[in-house]
Amino acid sequence: MIRHITLGLLVALSVGTTTPALAQKPVTLLNVSYDPTRELYQAYNAAFARYWKEKTGQDVTIRQSHGGSGSQARAVIDGLGADVVTLALAGDVDQISARSGLIPPDWQSRLPHNSTPYTSTIVLLVRKGNPKHIRDWDDLVRPGISVVTPNPKTSGGARWNYLAAWGYALRRPGGDEAKARAFVTSLYGNVPVLDGGARGATTTFVERGIGDVLIAWENEALLAVRELGSGKVEIVMPSITVLAEPPVAVVEKVAKKHGTLAVAQAYLEYLYTDAGQDIAAKHYYRPRLDAVAARFAGQFPKVALFTVAEVFGDWGKVQAKHFADGGLFDQIYQAQAAKP
Amino acid sequence: MIKVRWSVVLAAIGVGAGVARSGAAQQDTAALRDSQPSVAERLEQLDQKVRILARLLELKQDSVAAVAKQQPRVAAGKEGFLIKSADGAYQLKFRAYIQADGRFFPSEAPAAFGFSTLGLRRARPVLDATLWKYFTLRLTPDFGQGRVVLFDAYLDFRPVAQLGLRAGKTKPPIGLERLQSATDLRFVERGLPTNLVPNRDVGLQAVGDLVGGHLSYAVGVFNGVPDLGNGDFDVTNDKDFEARVFAKVGGLGLGIAASTGVEHGTVVASALPIYVTPAQQPMFRYRDSTIANGRRIRFAPQAYWYGGSIGVLGEYYVSEQDVTRATSGSRLTSRGWQVAASWFVTGEKASFTTVSPRHPFDPKKKSWGALEVGARYGELHPDEDAFPTFAVVTNSVTSAKAWGTGITWHLAPAVRFTVNYEWTHFAGGAPTGNRPTENFFVVRIQQAF
pLDDT of residue A335: 78
Counted across chains A and B, CB pairs separated by less than 8 A come out at 22
| Of A292, A250, A217, A276, the residue nearest A52 (C-alpha) | A276
Q: What is the sign, positive or negative, of the torsion defined by CA atoms of B5, B10, B11, B12?
A: positive
Q: Which of residues 168-207 of A touch B (CB under 8 A)?
A: 192-193, 195-196, 200, 204
How do strand A27-34 and strand A84-86 relate by DSSP bridges? Answer: parallel
CA–CA separation, A284 and B106 (whole Å) = 91
| Mean pLDDT on A109-130 | 95
- For residue A92, list its beta bridge partners: none
Please give the pLDDT value at position A101.
Answer: 94
Nearest to B221 by CA among B177, B271, B275, B166: B166
**E-strand stretches of chain A:** 27-34, 60-67, 84-86, 118-127, 147-148, 213-217, 233-236, 240-244, 248-250, 286-287, 304-306
- pLDDT tens-place string over residues B315-352: 999 999 999 999 999 999 999 999 999 999 999 999 99
Q: Are B283 and B381 within 8 A, CB to CB? A: no
Express each pLDDT in B287-322 by its tens digit. 999 999 999 999 999 999 999 999 999 999 999 999
Q: How far apart are CA B302 and CA B312, in angstroms?
A: 11
H or E segment at B372? strand B370-381
User: Do the Cβ atoms of A208 and B55 come within 8 Å?
Assistant: yes
| d(C-alpha A131, C-alpha A141), whole Å | 16
* Residue from the list B48, B59, B63 with its beta carbon closest to the beta carbon of A146: B48
Mean pLDDT of chain B: 90
B48 in contact with A at a CB cutoff of 8 Å?
yes
**Is pLDDT at A2 greater than 50 in this prediction?**
no
CB of A132 within 8 Å of any CB in chain B?
Answer: no
Residues in A closer than 8 angstroms to B62, CB to CB, are 196
Nearest chain B residue to A151, by CA: B59
Contact map slice: B 133-192 vs A, CB within 8 A:
none
The pLDDT confidence band at residue A21, using thresholds 50, 70 and 90, is very low
B52 touches chain A (CB under 8 A): yes
Biggest CA-to-CA distance, chain B: 166
Residue B21 vs residue A134, higher pLDDT: A134
d(CA A293, nearest CA chain B) in Å: 38
The pLDDT assigned to B327 comes to 92
- Judged by average pLDDT, the poorest of A7-11, B9-13, B230-234 is A7-11
Of A193, A196, A200, the CB nearest to B52: A193
Q: Is residue A14 over pLDDT 60?
A: no
Q: What distance in Å separates residue B134's CA from the closest CA in chain A? A: 17
CB spacing of B52 vs A210 below 8 angstroms: yes
Angstrom CA distances, A323 to A171, A242, A317, A329, stand at 21, 17, 10, 6
pLDDT band at B32; cut points 50, 70, 90: low
pLDDT digits (tens, 9 = 90+) for B66-101: 788 778 888 887 777 899 888 788 899 999 999 999
Contact check, Cβ <8 Å, A209/B52: no
Q: Is ipTM over 0.90? A: no
